[in-house]
A and B are shown apart, each in its own frame.
Chain A
Amino acid sequence: MEKRNNVWANVDWITISIYLAMMFIGWINIYAAVFNEEHKSIFDSTQQYGKQLMWIFAAIFIAVLMINTDSKFFVAFAFPIYGGIILLLALVPFIGTTINGAKSWIQIGNFLLQPSEFMKMATSLALARFISSYNFKMHEYKSLLILSGIILVPVGLIFLQNDTGSAIVFGVFLLVLYREGLNGLVLFFSFLIALVFILTMVLDPYITVITLTVAALVINYLMKKKTRRTLIAAGLFSGIFGVLYLINYFLQWSIDPLYFLLIAAALTSALTFLYAYVLRKRSLMIMIAIYFGSVLFAVSVDYVFHNIMEQHQRDRINELLGIQSDLHGAGYHVNQSKIAIGSGGFFGKGFLQGTQTKFDFVPEQSTDFIFCTVGEEWGFLGTVTVIGLFMGLLMRLIFLAERNRSKFSRVYGYCVATILFFHFAVNIGMTIGLAPVIGIPLPFFSYGGSSLWSFTLLLFVFIRLDASRFEQLSY
């Protein structure tokens, strides 16, 4: 059949359209973000916007190249590609160039390439290749070891280059492993720990404990539909806390209310646990244990971080997590970023009318904080459109991955979707103050050739694989 043979007839044009739309919107916003009165032309190649256009054309060239590559190539060369980029990554400390404190770039002529960006694609290929291999079983000791190896070797190397942001991205492969059969509890606990940790770092411990309590009560209610029991637990918690808080207030003990939250959580947990134990409700006992464990974890993380560690250790941790140090006091960058987005209102200030981003109040306005320009100039309509485009792309990718009968294609497809998702979540989350400031780009939007090309490569390898969904039935 001709359809089977013509790869252009089988590529997913919906994905490609979203991809092109994102690049175009990104380019327009880069133009607005770093608009220079003296270089008004959007094609001016001395400016970032002119350059980005060149990167876009190069990216399209890469895309075409990928589509014209035989899909069997990716399967066959998955490990060699992985090995090759690992080698390149290992060489970076010796031949690399340092930019912004991260020695993660290799200069080839005038171009700067960041091997860690391409590592995402290579690791995805390797994971897909390994998981799709014959006789693969997720929960075998050996499989888990190899999977950990495939993921952690590049993570280690990237950590060594001081590029923590890129390293953390690899954590998202847990979602892929989950899709392929990894025990849900691993995902659940990883997610819980990460969530509690981020909450503690971004918010303060009071809000974290209250959030956890509310979450536990809501989940309990949703799972068991026991209104009375939930209300009693909630009443217990707030009652104990309220009484202690009032006593403190009237006797002027000036004790940190966090202790009252803890006592309330502990007493409520103990009482409900006793109740569950007597009635032999095992799932309830587990849930209470998880809840109280999370509370303890949050409080101790906060305590250790703020009371035991020295400032330089805190800085180290922040650096390790890729949370950028804030030179101008708590949350200066995030605050400026929120001001920029918030000032956009519903319709935005209009194209090139943004002031917060253009006038350098927002840092890195063309790269990591490009979403601020969208928010300021295009308003809520703009931000929702961008989020919508991302969701459209991600949902489409999951759909494409699922329709492939080839396990390789499917795993790879999930890798692409989850990597893009992670970037999306952390980048936008950071600009609106919901995630710590970790310097990772917004795919297809942020300025920069290296990241644009690596995301293009990542995406179009999958589009090529998907285009061959009728040929490859085996893998």
Chain B
Amino acid sequence: MTETTGRLFEGADWDFHTLQRIHDACEHVAKNELGLDVYPNQIEVITAEQMLDAYSSVGMPLFYKHWSFGKHFAFHEASYRKGLMGLAYEIVINSSPCISYLMEENTATMQALVIAHAAFGHNHFFKNNYLFKQWTDADGILDYLDFAKTYVSQCEARHGRVEVERTLDAAHALMSHGIDRYPGKKNVDLRAEEKRAGRRRQHEEEVFNDLWRTVPKGATKSRSALSIERRRKLLGLPQENLLYFLEKSAPRLAPWQRELLRIVRHIAQYFYPQSQTKVMNEGTATYVHYRIMSKLHQQGRISDGNFLEFLQSHTNVVFQPEFDDPRFSGFNPYALGFALMQDIERIVSNPEDEDREWFPEIAGKGDVMGVLRDVWANYRDESFIGQFLSPKLMRHFRMFHLHDDPEERAGIRVDAIHDERGFRRVRRELARQHDVGFIDANIEVVDVDLSGDRRLILHHHVIKGSQLNETDSKRVLQHLADLWTYDVALIEVDANDKVLREYVVSPRPLPAAA
């Protein structure tokens, strides 16, 4: 098996045999040296145009049709044509088999880099990280997307494109609040879910009987019995998953609309782990490709020239501009992630006294890959940074913490810098920056006035005085009200339950009553 002789390729040209050879060589290193555990790989070579296609449907190979994807496509295409934007070298999909798209323009070295990065780095992370294990179903996602696509087009045929579009628009607006942040009782199994959805619709169609409508109902319960606590409990309130709440409780949605909300919700949920693990995911993939490529070079399977080409791309990828650089736009997840991984390697294999003090569990443990694999499996960005950002790395990046209080006249305060007093504070703040709990607005459904005008009441818990953007919020609330079909109120409250602002939106009249 160990055919560690001979160059994998010469120069920049490649063909499909080259790709296979590269893949096999990478696989050998990944399995035997790094001990990675990956889904089977499916490597697809695509053109720039196909890459643009993939961009506009959030990287998925198939997706339901919606104008917003067309908008993104037009936007990407325009900037690509003008040369404002380069395309990614690859896209990788968390599915089994794990699909990696490679651009045909890449040189052989780039293909090797990309295969090592995506087909082994990302792939391992998808398969082993606890968030992905918990929230995504790699086996079922492609089937589910296929179902979603068919279902949406069926709905369009049956209910008209405009109606479907209206529902999807609203669902997309609420997508960022259609996520379960904490695992509930049931497991998300997309394939079973899809079957169940089909069965449920079928059942509803089969047992439909108009007579049930005429059966006399018992005496209505007294209003006082429906105490606020009781109805909140019945509706499962407070509920932060707005799409879930609408799907289950919106009074006048048609079944197919609920199904659409469900589809959007499931897809949002599928992408949820990715937004929480950007730094780790890219850090892992970058570290893996670096290790694999270095090894291949050591074995003499990649020539010095090609290795230099690789190093150049690699350095570009992990470049971190400083805060006063015009190119600066926040921390580069590749740079931060890769630096953290390398730092862990250093701490495990060659620690200093400081590291022994900060990381007693891993310092000098010796088993680099064992530690890293454990890290990759059990952390997300926030906990990962909170745990493993070392003082040495903070000094390396020369990190500092700014505290910007609009009330403060003197300006923005430098709260902590990369010194002995500041390390822990800087690290805590950086971890918080990567915590979705702080990034997304915390909005929940708190009550519905069922006995009155059915007004839906939402609370936004304002953190650190950061309120919602007014124009956007009104639009989103308009969508929400259209789905709810009664008034919707959003109240922004601060930590002391003081009301800061209140929005009330009424639904737009529907052309045809649902």
A binds B: no
